[in-house]
Amino acid sequence: MYIPSQQQTFGELAGSRQDHRRPLKLLAEVTINDTVSTARLLNISQTGFLMAVEQVQPEPGAHLILHLPDGRQAPAQAVWTGDGFAGANFCDPLSSAALASLLLRAEPDARMAETVPEIRHRVAHTQLQPERGFLVPVALAAGFWAIGGVLAVYFA
């Protein structure tokens, strides 16, 4: 398991990731050195996660167990810690199904909550205008229909 040196910056660590992290907001239980604690997952991938922890701060290299919502456990190892946050790598990659389950159980993204009312406002105030030339075929069709009706009555 890779444990970074003290000289590496967060940007260097993020650049060395093997998998794309997906943002989420989800409370989860994490066992840190045999102590169960509540953590807020902030991003996750099949190979690791970022969490905010309040009660117990793990040390780099500490063994963690992320308790998944479906009851399974995902062993991990802390890669870095600081200021109430910790980044960890899973010992075995999460399955696509386990990752999807976590993402589906997460709280709605705050950015989406801000965007939805704006989109609703724009849609509600949009006035549909017919395309230029739209009335010509409609008028011709109505005219032919009227002429057809007149001719049908005349020749009947």
Confidence (pLDDT) at 43: 92
pTM above 0.85, yes or no: no
Q: Domain coordinates of the chain in residue numbers?
A: 10-112, 113-155
pLDDT at 77 over 90: yes
Residue 139, token pair as written in the block = 């008028």
Is the Cβ–Cβ distance between 25 and 40 less than 8 Å? yes
Confidence (pLDDT) at 143: 80
Q: What is the pLDDT of residues 17-71, one digit of tens each?
A: 456 788 889 999 999 988 999 999 999 999 999 999 888 889 999 999 999 888 8
pLDDT at 5 over 50: no
Confidence (pLDDT) at 55: 83
Handedness of CA 36, 100, 91, 78 (dihedral sign): negative
Q: What is the CATH superfamily name and number for domain 10-112?
A: predicted glycosyltransferase like domains (2.40.10.220)
What type of residue is 66? L
Task: Output the furthest CA–CA distance in the chain (Å, rounded).
Answer: 98
Is the Cβ–Cβ distance between 61 and 3 less than 8 Å? yes
Distances (CA, A) of 86 to 8, 54, 131, 147: 15, 11, 56, 79
Q: What is the pLDDT of residues 80-130, one digit of tens each?
A: 998 899 999 999 999 998 898 888 888 876 445 444 555 555 545 555 555
Rounded Cα distance, 138 and 60, in Å:
73
Question: Rounded mean pLDDT of 76-83?
Answer: 94
Handedness of CA 6, 12, 18, 24 (dihedral sign): positive
